[in-house]
Structure 1
């Protein structure tokens, strides 16, 4: 009988599932930490979104007010990211910090940022409803965090990327379909000749679309591949910063809804038939729904 020493046997392959138990993927941890906030937003949206669309609403005014508040967040963190990309190699810092900033500077694929499209959508909605939308009235704790935290902990930008960008690819597909079904008259107006083909350019909600025949799937795949770098590059403290920041982003979204509930009398006058709290939740629904997809899809990476 041939006897083989145990030392001569190849080591069994390490199980991926076992590795995940020992060291969970960062974004699995983010998902677990924000589950409660996801569920809260999801419940509001499912019940309220139809109230912002026909036959309850005749134009996108409410959606525009909600969009304006959240556009401030996109503008702030994308501007901070633009500055980082422009200055990633021109700072005096230790080797690890330099590696993190270099990784962040190359994390966003071309075509991913949304600020320009959001501005385009808001301009379109203002033209449609015939008046300007106040784009700076909301009290946003997001803006303070981005201004003061990102310069010293640039890795927290990953939390904004995860919450805002990844959601556009999944939940954004669903919400885009709902908005398109509102029809040309909702988006163009009864005074214009309503043609379905006009909606091919997604007036009012172009931020949910991507250039190219793959509708952003190629951008999503590249973005996900680059995000994997967080698993080997970031320290435990940096990973925790990202988890904490993601939780705070959700909490701040909920706080923003409550703040607008108290401070925005204009919306109350525009839709007197609905309780103000409900109007604000409806106004927030377009962006807030984008986050709810994580409840249904547990594993993105």
Structure 2
């Protein structure tokens, strides 16, 4: 494989599933805002389910690579294949390469959900009920945690969704207006998207996109052909799980009469 093959093959493999899930989510976002609803409860419900996936991914990622404050910026993070590395060391190096602090979503998700619950206290009990997103979070811990190279598929797909599809979704949410989000017009129009929509904001997203693509090329060099194939297979599994999660949200919304 050449250094660009993995990224090219990933894009080709997920092109259809990605387009399908994006259409699903776009159509449902319109149901979360006026005139379909006067409260952000449905949006809060959906965000709380997807949040668990990011929590699970980032927990496993950091658990494997170690506290970034202990190593980030070190010259020892090698981006050139080294045959002397054992499998665990190679994988740790690989997953450290992909670590871009601006991409991490856990803190913004926690802040957004806290804000949303303060605005709409009725959503608190709803999102604490059985959360289908937890099943995916457990899968990441139990399955992906045992095969850490699969984290590459999760990292690429989840953060690409925010980087590439997030702008359209954020635009649709912003159209709900400041009062819907309990913000002033100034806050909503700020350069940095505030809570409760900060999940969709990535500082310097254009530069981050370019960096992310470059790092995926670096990662390709450190993967074996079998690991690359595993990542392609996992990418399709991810979209199946995301589709099922979105469909389960439809059922939850009906049962809660949202």
Structure 1 and Structure 2 fold alike (TM over 0.5): yes
Match of 2:117 among 126, 131, 152: 126
Match of 1:241 among 230, 234, 237: 230
Distance 1:218 1:237, change over 3 A: same
* Deviates further, 80-89 or 113-122: 80-89
Please say if 1:139 is aligned against 2:129: no
Please say if 1:103 is aligned against 2:83: no
User: Following TM superposition, where does structure 1 have runs of at least 4 consecutive aligned residues deviating by more than 4 angstroms?
Assistant: none
In the alignment, structure 1 segments of 5+ residues that lack a partner are: 1-18, 189-193, 272-301
- The structural deviation recorded for 1:79 is 0.5
Provide Cα deviations, 1:30-58, integer angstroms capped at 9, x if missing partner.
Answer: 22222332233233344443222222221
- Which SS does the other structure have where 2:146 is aligned? coil
State the match for 1:252 in structure 2.
241
* Aligned mates of 2:201, 2:22 — CA distance in 1: 22
Task: Answer yes or no: is the 8 Å Cα contact 1:73–1:143 preserved in 2.
Answer: yes
* Aligned mates of 2:207, 2:23 — CA distance in 1: 31
* Aligned mates of 2:102, 2:129 — CA distance in 1: 26
Provide Cα deviations, 1:150-189, integer angstroms capped at 9, x if missing partner.
Answer: 333111111111111122112111211221121111101x
* Aligned mates of 1:178, 1:39 — CA distance in 2: 17
The structure whose Rg is larger is: 1
Match of 2:9 among 8, 26, 29: 29
In the alignment, structure 2 segments of 5+ residues that lack a partner are: 72-83
Task: Answer yes or no: is the 8 Å Cα contact 1:58–1:186 preserved in 2.
Answer: yes
State the match for 1:217 in structure 2.
206
Provide Cα deviations, 1:241-287, integer angstroms capped at 9, x if missing partner.
Answer: 1111111111011122333444x3x654443xxxxxxxxxxxxxxxx
* TM-score normalized with structure 1 length: 0.71
* Aligned mates of 1:258, 1:46 — CA distance in 2: 13
State the match for 1:295 in structure 2.
none
* Aligned mates of 1:124, 1:51 — CA distance in 2: 20
Distance 1:220 1:31, change over 3 A: closer
Provide Cα deviations, 1:46-95, integer angstroms capped at 9, x if missing partner.
Answer: 44432222222212111110000010010011011111121799xxx962
